[in-house]
């Protein structure tokens, strides 16, 4: 049977060239006027997926690693 990538993981996680997984942080879509510049800056870049969750996501995305 063919291995398929989970669409939910594909939409939320991207894999770097070195194999690390990144995800986008929340709270940056709307109501940005009421948030401080510091809060917006913290959410500017993605964050690394914790090591505890990396194995599970690797199973969800078999072709990306």
Query: 24: domain CATH number?
Result: 4.10.410.60
In which domain, by residue range, is 51 found?
7-60
Give this prediction's pTM.
Answer: 0.82
Residue 9 phi, psi dihedral angles, 5° rounding: -75, -35
Question: Considering the domain boundaries, does residue 37 fall inside one?
Answer: yes
pLDDT band of 65, cuts 50, 70, 90: confident
> CA 61 from chain center: how many Å?
13
Chain segment 18-58, per-residue pLDDT in tens: 999 999 999 999 999 999 999 999 999 999 999 999 999 99
Question: Considering the domain boundaries, does residue 65 fall inside one?
Answer: no
Question: Considering the domain boundaries, does residue 54 fall inside one?
Answer: yes
Question: Considering the domain boundaries, does residue 1 fall inside one?
Answer: no
Interval 4-27 mean pLDDT: 95
Give the model's pLDDT for residue 64.
Answer: 87
Looking at the structure of the chain, the number of domains it has is 1
Question: Considering the domain boundaries, does residue 43 fall inside one?
Answer: yes
């Amino acid at each position: 049977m063919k291995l398929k990538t989970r669409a939910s993981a594909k939409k939320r996680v991207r894999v770097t060239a070195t194999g690390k997984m990144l995800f986008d942080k929340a709270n940056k879509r709307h109501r940005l006027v009421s948030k401080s510049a510091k809060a917006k800056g913290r959410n500017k870049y993605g964050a690394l997926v914790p090591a505890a969750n990396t194995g599970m996501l690797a199973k969800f995305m078999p072709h990306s690693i």
